[in-house]
Structure 1
């Protein structure tokens, strides 16, 4: 599909990166410091995962320019735009490299080790390094408090990578091959049932000021992780972010009713998304492992049958 390849090309990824980075910087700097929610690095890293490293440069340059413009227009200004662009791009590169290394070492037979490495390497180490560099840059350029920016950066970038990198890995895996990441036509009835139920559940939960109800989208996503195909499952975290995040920012739902500043409420919502995705991730990995094993088993059976026919 031509549209799929356009979305996965350097211009398509850079425009997506710019839209997410600009939105985070323009609307997510509730305290005047760094953005308190960040998904853009997951987009770039998700695309890099499906490219050989010697071909990364066009995507890195395009996303770096996007980060530079977004920071210059809506963030800390043009003086800080270049170092922040370097930090953001290095963060995405680091996440992509670690994902590749742990996948080569552990996937698909040691999924628990892969998940632990994903949490520690991508969810903790990368944001710690980029957060230290970003907080120091903000302090040098604008005298911003180091600890506050460091803490907000870690929360926003860590949860953004943990929650969204698996999603964009799947999306760009399909788009890079010229295929749609949406479910095929033969899955439309199941997709309508699963997605429609999830949308109704999420809207209901975020329409009521009852925090205990937040567990239901989480449980639903966990159950779907063990039962529905990835093409359907990938849509659920994105829907939860769009519906739940939009309603929270609009002042609706259990998180919006908390007696906290808006920035803290947004980061709590991001924490909720992160916990939801991380809870379902082990089941997704185990299911993917079983699918691969079944494919290998079927291929082996076909090979043995062909050998038997050749003998007789």
Structure 2
């Protein structure tokens, strides 16, 4: 028979073994638990059929259903209601298994019926309520035709026995058929088997003590070893314990040994009570085993995360920190000591990584992160490590306290050395603000500096000057653009020699330059500009034909003592510059206070002509 099933039924050897188990279990169930020619007290067959179906694609279900229906009919014919009801009851039985399998796969396709609370609820609803209830409608009707009693009592018996058997049997059948074992079971197979056997014997001994005596109400005692087995072996332990209790309790009921309660005189009442008792144990042990499985999965995940965290922290150049709610370090990766410059960080605040002057800024970032736990706050500051300045970037994220709104458990922080990228950023900014030909700040940098000075001109007046080279176009036309570029670089070098922290020279474009001088009174500013004109006029500039030429410069100077726009400031210096160039060049023009008539400075003495 085994070979025939293997060759004709999808699923191979596994399906064949399940089919033989189905026939054996249903035959024993019918033969041993049908009291008074009624329905079996516990029906395990559906659990085996459901396991066989969910292990196969739906396209292969039909031959499996026909096979199990035939086996059910044979078992009913031999040990149950006889051949005249065998096919009808077989149809109801396989219909129940089909409904339960379809519901399990449709509602929980991830197949976590024994691993999550939601999956367990689906199993209870599908296998303990919906499937048995639907099959009970035709099944109870057919039983009522051949046994005493109405349809409703038989329907209740059907639902109770089939639901109880499915929920009792499915965990152990499914786990056995799918080879689902705890992690590491392959390495400790024998110890696991021995422990399972020990739990089964313990549960059996306690259950026998309870059911084989009638003097003391000790029905609560099997709960203790049952829960202990569930705690130690999870779903497998709970299933072994429940089936052990069921077998001994049914045996006690069938033999009449023990199992005597004053309120249960009728045999039917004892059957109902035993079903209720087993259902209570089932609903107690199965959720506990599922919760323990989830707890174990969570611990395994935490261990994996801890191992990964350790691996990352040990080999990362970034500092990985865990802070408590007060901002003190609870965990620091090895890179933390290098980036902080400290040997011990546990118990220290995050400010230990930064300069003392940045303490308020660091605390502010922690406060912002605490107010928005889902947001990552970034802090980037320079710090001194010996004689070297480095840049540190800290990313801070608050960890909310579970089930407590508005409170945090701590902070997750990463700190990295961003000196290289910061230096590259500063170089890029410097290059963007530098004139490529002369090396002076360009017009963009000048306007930014000018705007900053104009904002506080009322409190800090300054001198603003525009410098224009006289007749520079002739240089390009006579000596060529290369000579002109060289001349601009030499003029810029002369400005560099006159530079100081309070003097800002820039190239505006072409042969036009600008100067912002702080803390200079008008006389000092005029003297500085005349010195610049003299320095320009004194330059010996080589021409391509080995001759030399010279340049002169004109300056328009204005004192800015009130806030205004950059364009107005430029206009204030443009007038004196125009006047200086109109006067022959090589001189400084100064705007008067009224800015209506510029004052022309004296020509700068020079023996050279432009």
1:164 to 2:152 alignment: no
1:198 to 2:203 alignment: yes
1:248 to 250, 253, 257: 253
Post-superposition Cα deviations, 1:289-310, rounded to whole Å, max 9, x if no partner, equal 1222333344445556666788
1:96 to 90, 96, 101: 101
Aligned-partner Cα distance in 1 for 2:161–2:36: 14
1:222 to 2:227 alignment: yes
Helix, strand or coil for the counterpart of 1:213?
coil
Answer whether contact 2:229 2:241 (CA < 8 A) is retained. no
- With normalisation by structure 1, the TM-score equals 0.80
Aligned-partner Cα distance in 1 for 2:55–2:154: 32
Higher relative contact order (CA 8 A, sep 6+): 1
2:126 to 118, 121, 124: 121
Question: Which has the higher mean CA deviation after the structures are superposed, 33-42 or 48-57?
Answer: 48-57
Aligned-partner Cα distance in 1 for 2:280–2:249: 14
What does residue range 19-168 of structure 1 map to in structure 2 within 5 Å? 19-104=24-109, 107=112, 111-139=116-144, 145-168=150-173
Helix, strand or coil for the counterpart of 1:56?
helix
2:14 to 2, 5, 9: 9
Note closer, same or farther for the CA distance 1:242–1:82 as it changes in structure 2 (3 Å cut): same
Answer whether contact 2:128 2:163 (CA < 8 A) is retained. yes
Answer whether contact 2:161 2:275 (CA < 8 A) is retained. yes
Q: Structure 1 residue 136: deviation in Å?
A: 2.5
- With normalisation by structure 2, the TM-score equals 0.44
Cα root mean square deviation, aligned: 3.7
Helix, strand or coil for the counterpart of 2:35?
coil
2:288 matched to which residue of 1? 283
Answer whether contact 1:255 1:269 (CA < 8 A) is retained. no
Structure 2: segments with no counterpart, 5+ residues: 1-5, 318-610
Post-superposition Cα deviations, 1:31-82, rounded to whole Å, max 9, x if no partner, equal 4343343111112223333333334345423221111112223333334322
Aligned-partner Cα distance in 1 for 2:198–2:37: 42
**Higher strand fraction: Structure 1 or Structure 2?**
2
Answer whether contact 2:202 2:225 (CA < 8 A) is retained. no
1:208 matched to which residue of 2? 213
Q: Structure 1 residue 129: deviation in Å?
A: 0.7
Aligned-partner Cα distance in 1 for 2:113–2:81: 43
Aligned-partner Cα distance in 1 for 2:234–2:32: 34
Answer whether contact 1:207 1:253 (CA < 8 A) is retained. yes
Question: Which has the higher mean CA deviation after the structures are superposed, 14-23 or 137-146?
Answer: 137-146
Answer whether contact 1:108 1:289 (CA < 8 A) is retained. no
Question: Which has the higher mean CA deviation after the structures are superposed, 255-264 or 93-102?
Answer: 255-264
Answer whether contact 2:172 2:236 (CA < 8 A) is retained. no
2:239 matched to which residue of 1? 234
Helix, strand or coil for the counterpart of 1:35?
coil
**Higher helix fraction: Structure 1 or Structure 2?**
1
1:274 to 276, 279, 286: 279
Aligned-partner Cα distance in 2 for 1:109–1:69: 32
Note closer, same or farther for the CA distance 1:288–1:50 as it changes in structure 2 (3 Å cut): farther
Q: Structure 1 residue 28: deviation in Å?
A: 3.6
Helix, strand or coil for the counterpart of 1:208?
coil
Note closer, same or farther for the CA distance 1:215–1:185 as it changes in structure 2 (3 Å cut): same
Answer whether contact 1:8 1:175 (CA < 8 A) is retained. no
Residues matched between the structures, number: 304
